[in-house]
């Protein structure tokens, strides 16, 4: 044990063993380290326990676990004394270091057999934070009790009431610190809100044709009446809701007008239709056999309707325009 004199007082510096022994006999639970450990355990619990893992509580708990807790635990291990850095600096550094540490952990996992997956990431971040908590606890107990960092709850309460206990700190400094803390809270709350309530993406439906080998090729063009030609119709629902779709197949006879340089529909006869329901983010590929009853057609129209299907009295170009999506194949119907 070392004895030295400072400003007329005799002070003693405890050895590491004596510091640990004093904590064992007079336990001191550091509120910030205890809170970090409890938060870490709670976050792990909501990730794996149903039905909590399907509620916004999961995001609320896991978001700080990724972007604050690892950095704070590391800062606590590096700066165990209350005079090392201020509380605001600890908070700012905790966020910044967490943003740096977590990607490094992910980068390290990328070169391991476990890869960047949920379970390895949770284990790695939790293990890192737990080790830093133990190191921070050890480094605090081996120093003098009066030098240990503790959350200054009385000072925070006094600051909220506007009764700062540090007269040397100017009103401008206090105001800037308060604004900084407020901005940090706003950023955290905004980020959590964006994650919990994500912006709705673009709504659309995929509609496509595949040939007999389920590729974008090998479409039938030489058709003999009475024969079947295999096709596949693909529909993908990205409408952010369940949708009832109807697919109609129409045999069309068109003529080209050389004067106007446009095609016009001469006749349009119904060939087939199919209705089905697709859940959001679901895709289906439907086998379809194309069959023509007679000659005289040179085009097949595939019309997709989502929930609203017009009456049969609406025909020709108007029906094609009323469809949600439309596809067509040019064919040449030859006598059998």
CA–CA separation, 280 vs 285, rounded Å? Answer: 15
pLDDT of residue 119: 87
pLDDT of residue 164: 46
Give per-residue pLDDT as tens, 296-327.
899 999 999 998 899 888 888 999 999 999 99
pLDDT of residue 137: 92
Burial 69-79 (b: 16+ CB within 10 A, else e): bbbbbbbbbeb
Residue 155 has pLDDT above 80, yes or no: no
Rounded mean pLDDT of 281-300? 91
Residue 27 has pLDDT above 60, yes or no: no
- Domains defined along the chain, listed by start: 2-151 (no CATH), 204-333 (2.60.40.10)
Of 186, 189, 190, 168, which is closest to residue 178 (Cα–Cα)? 186
Q: Read off the pLDDT band of 184 (50, 70, 90).
A: low
**Any idea what DSSP says for residue 147?**
G
Give yes or no for a contact between 71 and 101, defined as CB atoms under 8 angstroms apart.
Answer: yes
Give residue 202's Cα distance to chain centre. 16
> In this predicted structure, which of 19-33, 83-97, 246-260, 276-290 has the lowest mean pLDDT?
19-33
Give yes or no for a contact between 221 and 330, defined as CB atoms under 8 angstroms apart.
Answer: yes
pLDDT of residue 253: 92
Rounded mean pLDDT of 229-243? 92
pLDDT of residue 2: 47
Long-range contacts of 6-14 (CB under 8 A, 24+ apart): 13/144, 14/142, 14/144
Query: What is the 3-state secondary structure of 222-269?
Result: EECCCCEEEEEEEEEEECCCCEEEEEEEEEEEEEEECCCCEEEEEEEE
**pTM value?**
0.48
Residue 140 has pLDDT above 70, yes or no: yes
Average pLDDT of the chain is 81
């Amino acid at each position: 044990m070392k004895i030295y004199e400072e400003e007329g007082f005799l002070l003693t510096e405890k050895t590491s063993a004596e510091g640990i022994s004093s904590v064992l006999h007079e336990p001191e639970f550091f509120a910030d380290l205890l809170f970090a450990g409890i938060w870490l355990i709670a976050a792990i619990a909501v990730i794996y326990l149903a039905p909590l893992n399907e509620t916004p509580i999961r995001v609320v708990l896991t978001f700080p676990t990724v972007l604050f807790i690892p950095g704070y635990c590391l800062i606590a291990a590096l700066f165990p004394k209350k005079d090392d850095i201020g509380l605001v600096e600890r908070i700012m550094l905790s966020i910044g270091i967490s943003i740096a540490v977590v990607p490094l952990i992910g980068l390290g996992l990328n070169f391991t057999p476990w890869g960047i997956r949920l379970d390895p990431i949770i284990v790695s971040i939790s293990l890192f934070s737990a080790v830093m908590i133990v190191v921070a606890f050890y480094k605090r107990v081996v120093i003098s009790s009066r030098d240990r960092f503790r959350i200054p709850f009385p000072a925070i309460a006094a600051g909220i009431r506007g009764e700062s206990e540090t007269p040397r700190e100017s009103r401008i400094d206090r105001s800037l610190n308060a604004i900084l803390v407020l901005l940090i809270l706003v950023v955290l709350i905004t980020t959590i809100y964006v994650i919990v309530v994500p912006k709705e993406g673009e709504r659309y439906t995929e509609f496509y044709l595949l040939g007999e080998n389920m590729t974008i090729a090998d479409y039938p063009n030489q058709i003999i009446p009475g024969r079947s030609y295999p096709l596949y119709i693909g529909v993908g629902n990205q409408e952010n809701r369940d949708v009832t779709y109807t697919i109609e197949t129409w045999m069309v006879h068109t003529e080209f007008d050389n004067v106007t340089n446009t095609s016009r529909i001469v006749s349009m006869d119904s060939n087939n239709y199919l209705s089905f329901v697709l859940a959001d983010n679901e895709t289906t590929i439907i086998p379809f056999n194309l069959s023509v009853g007679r000659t005289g057609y040179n085009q097949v129209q595939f019309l997709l309707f989502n929930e609203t299907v017009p009456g049969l009295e609406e025909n020709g170009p108007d029906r094609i325009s009323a469809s949600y999506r439309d596809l067509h194949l040019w064919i040449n119907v030859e006598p059998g």
